[in-house]
Amino acid sequence: MRLPDLAAALGLSAAELPDLGVRGVTHNADWVTAGDLFVAIRGARFDGHAFIAQAQERGVVAVIGEGLPAGETCALPYLKVPDARAALADAACALHGHPSRELRVVGVTGTDGKTTTSWLTRHLLRAAGLKTGLLSTVGYELPDGELRHFPAHFTTPEAPQVQATLREMVNVGAQATVLEASSHALALDRVRGVAWDVGIWTHLSSEHLDFHGTLENYFAEKRKLIQRSALAVLNVDDPWTAQLRGLAPLETTYSAEGQHADWRAYEIGEGPEGLRFRVSSPAGEFEAKLPMIGRFNVANALAAMGAAHHLGAGVEQLRAGLASFRGVPGRMELVPGEAGQPRVIVDFAHTPPSLEKALATLRATTPGRLWVVIGSAGGPRDPHKRAPLGEVATRLADYAVFTEEDHRDTPLADILAEMERGAREAGRANFRSIEDRAQAIRHAVSSLGADDTVLLAGKGPEDTLERGTEALAWNEVGEARAALAAAGAPGPRLA
């Protein structure tokens, strides 16, 4: 794309701009390749203008920013914009030809349930015959179904990576895609310019308040998805949904708790083979089977069905799709073991509400004792949830092991002390702290009997463990397998 054309696409004057070719766009000088446009963003810690010289050395052809610092000049063409982050996204959309306009796009937002709902929706759309891609926190998939991961420096994809991935999906023949829309992605314009056909709302609870400040601000960012979608799929069991009604041109509702809704589940049962329930819906009445643990997944299934039906899936395709769903890596994932060994479950639950749901679910299906291994993230990320996590863990599990989970620059001892405080203030003493997560997992697994279950909570499918300033390679399922292998036959029960 030529620089004058890109400026015009951004609503800027192209007068006197050189006729240079632009190959890409980025806001990180370390990611620059020759021919890129560099966007200088003023952040909380750094001003991107300080890196213009580095970006120029790597071959950028022009710079976008909200204005040069006083007294400074730029040797490259400088395009002044009112909002640099918005310009980053708009430039990425223009450079990649607005790929979302060539796809049927489903967005999913909420505090918990986003990933499972995204994967379910992707699966149902494929069952309906649509070549469907996926962009989630677990990774991304093209229609071929192979799970891919962004390079380490793209752990949280920015707008250029989002648009490049969507273009790649279109180029390989995708007809639809499902995107998780986190509050950070919405607030930081990472998904700006995406043409949303459907926006799914799961539910809202306290999370990421270190970034958003208040629950109301957090809600306001997530609400953007519903405001920008042609159809909203809304959970009437969530109190926040009342503030979302009427924001989208079209809407459909769902309930797994018996409330009046377009998509409603009833006669819900849970057994060894998963969930069974009946569905009342605009598509008709039918019985559904879902091979997943946890009644809360009924709500995720209803949301996914509402979206997939809107995009053309019929009843039989919905029923067959649910019945053949294999789950999500790191979401209530059963770790294979030998006969007579305890059940080990890996799940991403890392907030008090999600941990409560996971433990309550496993309690209902565990004939023996229930253990949990849980940590809490460090840094400024919601330190207020550490004590509640300790309280929930010790109230719903027979025994809890507190351990590390990406403590970063926060002393791990401080995090564990807060979790212990939450347990003690609730009158609980059924816990111990083991700093090393691998040792914590081995301790728990080796302490269980054949009828017992242990939930390894918090890491799920993440492939790194942030310990201080290090980002160590990590595989929670692999650690669980190693612990089972080391434990062999069930050992003695420990109090």
> Are 144 and 216 in contact, with CB atoms under 8 Å apart?
no
pTM: 0.79
Known binding residues for ATP? 110-116
Q: Cα(first)–Cα(last) distance of the chain, in Å?
A: 67
Per-residue pLDDT of the chain (495 residues; tens, 9 = 90+): 999 999 999 999 988 899 999 999 999 999 999 999 999 999 878 899 999 999 999 999 999 999 999 989 999 999 999 999 999 999 999 999 999 999 999 999 998 889 899 999 999 999 999 999 999 877 899 998 888 888 755 556 899 999 999 999 999 999 999 999 988 899 999 999 999 999 999 999 866 666 667 888 989 999 999 999 999 999 999 999 999 999 999 999 999 998 999 999 999 998 767 899 999 999 999 999 998 888 889 999 999 999 999 999 999 999 999 999 988 888 888 888 888 899 999 998 998 988 998 999 899 888 999 999 999 988 666 688 899 999 999 999 999 999 999 998 899 999 999 999 999 999 999 999 999 999 999 999 999 999 999 999 999 888 889 998 899 999 999 999 999 999 986 544 444
How many Å apart are CA 358 and CA 298, to the nearest integer? 14
CATH architecture for the domain at 3-95: 3-Layer(aba) Sandwich (3.40)
At residue 4, the pLDDT reads 96
At residue 380, the pLDDT reads 62
- According to CATH, the superfamily of the domain at 99-323 is Mur-like, catalytic domain (3.40.1190.10)
HSE value, Cβ hemisphere, 13 Å, CA-based, for 282 = 15
How many Å apart are CA 188 and CA 303, to the nearest integer? 26
Q: What is the topology classification, in CATH, of domain 333-487? A: Protein-Tyrosine Phosphatase; Chain A (3.90.190)
Known binding residues? 110-116, 155-156, 182, 190
How many Å apart are CA 169 and CA 422, to the nearest integer? 46
Topology alike, domains 99-323 and 333-487: no
Find tokens 């003493």 and name the residue. 429
Domain spans of the chain, in order of start: 3-95, 99-323, 333-487
